[in-house]
Amino acid sequence: MHKAGDVVLGGLFQFHFFSVFPDLSFTSEPQQPSCYGFDVVAFKRAQTMAFAVEEINRNSKLLPNLSLGYSLYDNCFSLGVAFRAALSMASGQEKHIVLYDNCVGSPPVIGIVGDTSSTRSIAISSVLGLYRVPMVSYFSTCSCLSDRQKFPSFFRTIPSDAFQVSAMIQIIKHFGWTWVGLLISDDDYGFHVARSFQNDLSQSGSGCLAYLEILPWGYDPAEQRRIVEVMKKSTARVVIAFAPDNHMINLIEEVVRQNVTGLQWLASEAWSAAAALQTPRLMPYLGGTLGIAIRRGEIPGLRDFLLQTRPNIHHDNRFGNSSVNQFWEFTFQCRFAPPPAGWMEGGGALCTGQEDLETVETEFLDTSDLRPEYNVYKAVYALAYALDDMLQCEPGRGPFNRHSCGSLQKLELWQLVHYLQKVNFTTWFGDQVSFDENGDALPIYDIMNWHWLPDGRIKVQNVGDVKRSAAGGEVLKLNEDRIFWNFEPKKPPRSVCSDSCPPGTRMVRKKGEPECCFDCIPCSEGKISNKTNSMECTSCPEDFWSSPQHDHCVPKRTEFLSYHEPLGICLTTASLLGTFICAVVLGIFIHHRSTPIVRANNSELSFQLLLSLKLCFLCSLLFIGRPRLWTCQLRHAAFGISFVLCVSCILVKTIVVLAVFKASKPGGEASLKWFGATQQRGTVLLLTLIQAAICTAWLLSSPPAPHKNTQYHNDKIVYECVVGSTVGFAVLLGYIGLLAILSFLIAFLARNLPDSFNEAKLITFSMLIFCAVWVAFVPAYISSPGKHADAVEVFAILASSFGLLGVLFGPKCYIILLRPERNTKKAIMGRGVTK
């Protein structure tokens, strides 16, 4: 298709699906048709370019006094045909394009709109780029074409696959699809998409590929059957396909044959609007497809222009059968006479050229959903605006050497590339058109959804869009209420290799499988994970422990000998009971202090002994309750001093017994003289002060202190008092033991005294109980952890205190209260006791 003009724009369009003779050359000699399978949609795109040129020529503000022409070629879905066509346009081999004799004038074409295929655009632009021939594609999306080193004059009005891949990842991330299959076409478009998709998916951490399959060219039943078998066996419910519609048709037919349903398809812009796949027969398999589509636009007046399309009955045979005539034959299923030998498209009745386009149902007249056509329209205008900007340049203010300007008479295409890079305009529809440093258009896509209506009709509906934000990221907007899901219930499907690991677990990747396939292992004790799909469990702080669900840390349970637990209550009760009994006994002794049995047992020492026993009972309370610094330091000091005071009194009583016995013998009166009341008090005080000195030295050098012990139990804190200095604690206990043993030995030696002084037997027995309790205490204390060690020590204090109290004062109280007749001097002296 050609139109003359002052400057000419080239165009490459896919008028046919298939090529019979791939070595077609464009010469003036008639050639038999080498292409078949007429593509009405591609013809509409070519007509859109023709309309844009006509519209620019009518615009007095854009390229005034200059007419644009066009030269449009069929690439025949063949790289060889497209490449030769592009070179033919760029080099001007056609006879109708003639330069002035002095070789001054505009080039054969100042730019090319096309191609549709990334593979063809790569091949053509890599050559034309050497001569800086501008090439503006409306459908080539390969991200590799953004390489300015390889393709310095390539531009496009469609976003690159890099953005399309990012948009697709945003969609699967939005719906939580982490396990997807990927199908690609066997060309540069598919290979670059696969590489970009895998890299971006891995970097985003949004999911994994269950499989990656390459769709074969043409009809390959065995390979298509194998690919569908892979899809059927996979657990991935989401399939992403980056391939042209002619690749998808054969695959979907195999999907229908194997009856593979339950898949959610994600379509690239190459087939998201493919009418050939939008049939009621395929909707059980493709219904609910989500697709990325080129931004829709509106072109006022295009439909009226398309309706003016008429065949050229007297076509010029220099160009073979015209594309308009082929369109006419395809649309009305007629033929122009005589048909060229070997022509396949026409058939049936003869075409008159007067047929009415509005009487047939054809995609050609549908202008309600202009997407690639809108990109063609913007590409033509981009070239026109670039040329207009160049022609508006004022001499001396130009961007080139010595501030020169480009001119139409001496136009060099690299100058037009310079202006094309800076072009910036807004279409009638309100879309801004400009190119970044890589020649890419402003990235924006529509999100389409294939609705399967109850009456069987199919409606492709816009459900959102995705575009680049000012910050550089992708912004996805989806109206989920408008999305049709071809599943029951009408909700998005789940497509995961492994279910998400809930809080309290961590992910462990399955050996030999992608990272999205993992097992969920519960966190070990003391560790938590508070997020879904945690890679590691984190340890709780020292004073915290993991909850039963292992999803958060809770304060560790604390353990100490408490007043509120049964053991603490029992020990507290026993302590208070012992104190009360001591007070009662002391009251009894005070009340009967003039009786012989009280006076005969050294009443002053008995009162001191009862007071010390009361202190022994009370000091055990310091071992109960949460340990604090003052209780830790006081408990052992109080315990040590109280018991030394108690044992000192018993030791002095024992010595007094021996002194009295010696004094009862002839010449022994002096023994009591040297051990009178003053000496007795002094001895008790001295012995007690020694223990007080030991405690003071201990507290000053390495005092006991509260300690949070986490060694016994991981899930709780044991509050205990560490002794600080083990030597100090051992000396304290050893001193008590020394006095106790000394008392025991002296009392043991005095056990056979006459009955009148038989208290030595009671002291012997009490010291035996005391020593037995504390000998048993040492191993029990060492082997008891935490609060049990305190309980053992309290028990030893109470047991020894009750033993001393019961043995030393029990028999006396029995006589005072129950056998008063024995509380006489004669009875105590052993005379006059009634049997």
User: pLDDT tens across 563-583, in order?
Assistant: 888 988 999 999 999 999 999
Looking at the structure, tell me whether residues 172 and 266 fall in a common domain.
yes
CATH value at residue 757: 1.20.1070.10
Beta strands in 523-643 (DSSP E): 527-528, 538-539, 544-546, 553-555, 557-559
CB 118 within 8 A of CB 189: yes
Average confidence (pLDDT) over 455-470? 86
Band the pLDDT of 310: cuts 50, 70, 90. Answer: confident
Q: What pLDDT is recorded for position 542?
A: 84
Backbone torsions φ then ψ of 4, nearest 5 degrees: -75, 155
Cα–Cα distance, 339 to 327 (Å, whole number): 14
Residue 110 has pLDDT above 50, yes or no: yes
- Whether residue 331 is contained in a domain is answered as no
Nearest to 324, CA basis, from 333, 340, 337, 311: 311
Q: What pLDDT is recorded for position 93?
A: 57
HSE, CB side, 13 Å, CA atoms: give it for residue 484.
Answer: 20
Residue 442 has pLDDT above 80, yes or no: yes
- Whether residue 25 is contained in a domain is answered as no
Share of the chain above pLDDT 90, in %: 36
Looking at the structure, tell me whether residues 804 and 659 fall in a common domain.
yes
CB 168 within 8 A of CB 161: no
CB 557 within 8 A of CB 717: yes
Count of domains observed in the chain: 4
Nearest to 593, CA basis, from 816, 382, 790: 816
CB 171 within 8 A of CB 447: yes
Looking at the structure, tell me whether residues 586 and 467 fall in a common domain.
no
Average confidence (pLDDT) over 158-178? 90
Q: Are strands 179-185 and 238-242 parallel, antiparallel or unpaired?
A: parallel
Looking at the structure, tell me whether residues 201 and 143 fall in a common domain.
no
CB 2 within 8 A of CB 101: no
Tens of pLDDT, residues 793-803: 888 889 988 98
Q: Which residues pair with 434 in a beta bridge?
A: 424
CB 558 within 8 A of CB 567: no
Q: Alpha carbon 728 to chain centroid distance?
A: 56
Average confidence (pLDDT) over 496-505? 90
Cα–Cα distance, 611 to 764 (Å, whole number): 21
Return the SS3 of 462: strand
- Whether residue 688 is contained in a domain is answered as yes
Looking at the structure, tell me whether residues 424 and 453 fall in a common domain.
no
Looking at the structure, tell me whether residues 602 and 697 fall in a common domain.
yes
Q: What pLDDT is recorded for position 28?
A: 45
Nearest to 37, CA basis, from 338, 225, 245, 220: 245
Residue 667 has pLDDT above 60, yes or no: no
Residue 161 has pLDDT above 80, yes or no: yes
> What DSSP line would sit under 113-153, residue for residue?
E--SSHHHHHHHHHHHGGGT--EEESS---GGGG-TTT-TT
Q: What pLDDT is recorded for position 722?
A: 84
pTM for the predicted model, two decimal places: 0.64
Beta strands in 409-535 (DSSP E): 424-426, 432-434, 444-452, 458-468, 474-478, 505-509, 518-522, 527-528
Q: What pLDDT is recorded for position 222?
A: 93
Average confidence (pLDDT) over 71-86? 89
Domain boundary among 555, 584, 618: 555
Q: Which residue has the higher pLDDT, 709 or 283?
A: 283
Q: What pLDDT is recorded for position 673?
A: 59
CB 750 within 8 A of CB 743: no
Structure tokens at 212: 């990656």
- Whether residue 518 is contained in a domain is answered as yes
Band the pLDDT of 212: cuts 50, 70, 90. Answer: very high
Structure tokens at 462: 């816009």
The C-alpha angle 176, 177, 182, rounded to 5 degrees, equals: 155
For residue 498, how many other CB atoms are within 10 A of its CB? Answer: 19
Residue 642 has pLDDT above 50, yes or no: yes
Residue 641 has pLDDT above 60, yes or no: yes
Cα–Cα distance, 322 to 47 (Å, whole number): 13
The C-alpha angle 473, 478, 484, rounded to 5 degrees, equals: 145
Residue holding tokens 């509409």? 44
What sign has the CA pseudo-torsion 389, 394, 397, 398? Answer: positive
What sign has the CA pseudo-torsion 394, 400, 406, 409? Answer: positive
CB 462 within 8 A of CB 178: no
Return the SS3 of 659: helix
HSE, CB side, 13 Å, CA atoms: give it for residue 51.
Answer: 22
Give CA separation, 84 vs 14, 30, 553, in Å. 14, 17, 72
Looking at the structure, tell me whether residues 630 and 724 fall in a common domain.
yes
- Whether residue 41 is contained in a domain is answered as yes
Looking at the structure, tell me whether residues 643 and 749 fall in a common domain.
yes
Cα–Cα distance, 199 to 179 (Å, whole number): 15
Q: Is 806 exposed, middle or buried (0-12, 13-18, 19+ CB in 10 A)?
A: middle
Nearest to 764, CA basis, from 740, 800, 796: 740
The C-alpha angle 328, 329, 331, rounded to 5 degrees, equals: 65
Cα–Cα distance, 832 to 547 (Å, whole number): 78
Alpha helices in 129-220 (DSSP H): 161-174, 188-204
Q: 545: domain range?
A: 505-555
CATH value at residue 183: 3.40.50.2300
Q: What pLDDT is recorded for position 320?
A: 40
Cα–Cα distance, 436 to 145 (Å, whole number): 13
- Whether residue 283 is contained in a domain is answered as yes
The C-alpha angle 573, 579, 584, rounded to 5 degrees, equals: 120
Cα–Cα distance, 781 to 403 (Å, whole number): 100
Looking at the structure, tell me whether residues 450 and 371 fall in a common domain.
no
Cα–Cα distance, 224 to 639 (Å, whole number): 91
Cα–Cα distance, 778 to 96 (Å, whole number): 119
Looking at the structure, tell me whether residues 731 and 614 fall in a common domain.
yes
CA gyration radius, the chain: 53
Tens of pLDDT, residues 328-379: 988 888 888 765 544 545 457 888 888 889 888 888 999 988 989 999 999 9
Cα–Cα distance, 636 to 686 (Å, whole number): 19
Structure tokens at 826: 């004669």
CB 208 within 8 A of CB 515: yes
Looking at the structure, tell me whether residues 621 and 515 fall in a common domain.
no
Looking at the structure, tell me whether residues 572 and 683 fall in a common domain.
yes
Supply the mean pLDDT for the chain: 85
Return the SS3 of 233: helix
- Whether residue 517 is contained in a domain is answered as yes
For residue 808, how many other CB atoms are within 10 A of its CB? Answer: 23
Return the SS3 of 171: helix
Burial 810-829 (b: 16+ CB within 10 A, else e): ebbbebbeeeeebbeeebbe
Long-range contacts, stretch 541-550, CB < 8 angstroms, 24+ apart: 542/710, 543/708, 543/717, 545/714, 545/715, 545/716, 549/503, 549/504, 550/503, 550/504, 550/505, 550/522, 550/523
Cα–Cα distance, 421 to 134 (Å, whole number): 10
Average confidence (pLDDT) over 250-264? 93
Tens of pLDDT, residues 115-140: 988 889 999 999 999 999 999 999 99
List Cβ neighbours of 643 (8 Å cut-off, separation of 6 or more): 612, 616, 736, 797, 800
Q: Are strands 544-546 and 553-555 parallel, antiparallel or unpaired?
A: antiparallel
- Whether residue 302 is contained in a domain is answered as no
Ordered strands of the 458-468 beta sheet: 208-215, 179-185, 238-242, 264-267, 290-294, 444-452, 458-468, 474-478
Return the SS3 of 38: strand
Long-range contacts, stretch 806-811, CB < 8 angstroms, 24+ apart: 807/762, 807/765, 807/766, 807/769, 808/609, 808/650, 808/762, 808/763, 808/766, 809/585, 809/606, 809/610, 811/762
Domain boundary among 496, 528, 555: 555
Share of the chain above pLDDT 70, in %: 89
Q: What pLDDT is recorded for position 514?
A: 86
Residue 26 has pLDDT above 60, yes or no: no
Cα–Cα distance, 728 to 320 (Å, whole number): 117
